[in-house]
Structure 1
């Protein structure tokens, strides 16, 4: 997972260097386009982003999306799902060029797991409208559709203040890393060289500007199903390893589990989020 790669990268670098004002009935402004750092968030050890559901309204609490393995209390054990847990996680909200706009702070984990997918979705202590009014920040919209192979995408990292431009090479029935397994994972094209610290970065469709996934891992050394060396498991159980390849997890799953009040309900028919 690219969180540990981030810590190692920062340590090496350190050694080398001695290293929204709308009516309640209205939705927030349309999603920004890809290929900038607007609405990304820099965490202490990961990347994150300011996000909204397609049905969110301006008076809703804003949300911050990152990986499950970026959860502030450490990696989440396989088989565990966290819901409505208190939090004080904070990060720095960035503008399009990577400049700091201000600090955003969470008060609750709405959903987090490293089982089936690798996500943490936080509720912030302020609304979309307040962030729009204060910083001019417009949240990225979570797409409600499954992405397709060949989709051009950007991976903007708040941690590194850098954007990777890549494409979806295909999908992996099961991606396995150490004790964790993820379902229908996104495989990036060869040469999409995401690095440690990009964990939690949104995967943004170049065509729509909407979030279609979240960056979470890459095979560093050609290892087989070990930490920082995920392997691909086909439907028939065949295991393969693509050294150097990066991966992400789909995020439209959130939209399959929402009530009309925009609350996550894991019991809803068709809900794809693990429970």
Structure 2
């Protein structure tokens, strides 16, 4: 049954980069499940799609995921919406997901609501909470790869960060949210933003979305992900000092150079060194460097 209640002033925001067919399918699915919600699409790329009654924002350049989120939040703020649900266009939501989030936000006081996300059409968990290590700037998904079992014993739980693929922001967060760092461009940008802004996150133990990870970036663990993760960790390490800085560089070299070389992944090591040289460049320029080298 399509969900209509309390959705007329809620927006679902998607960010597209030259994958209009994926976004078109996402809009069609969302419209069938949440007919009362507004759908916002930030179209970063040059390939334009047909998104029905969605509100399309075309910035004229590639803002990256961080910039796309800023545009979505700004649009929601200017329209005085009661909530903004930012989703990846390769996520498929459960039909009652919006109601679950709206109820949780009404009853609670967290800044961001998220949920367990399953990996594609499997029963394996892709995201079950987020952990951040401030010493090494490593992030990881809790319960990754575990078989999802329902009903969960605990309805929801606090976690350190929500994946940018699935973030529900109530009005109180929309109104006070700081901007994401657009020079991070993509990967780790949502983690940095949430930690810097001290946003509290609650994760539902229900699997409200399925994430077909990699369908918009040509796969999982690509050069793109490896490059920007390596680059952005270096950018974020600028505030570290003393023993924390030593620990960070030890972890960074291990993750991005030593392990790839030990596995014979020489290309990955070269991508990491390019990321190191690109750390001070703007995000879009760094992306061009990666494309030119690969």
TM-score, normalised with respect to structure 2: 0.28
TM-score, normalised with respect to structure 1: 0.30
Q: Greater strand share, 1 or 2?
A: 1
The higher-RCO structure (CA 8 Å, 6+ apart) is 1
Larger radius of gyration: 2
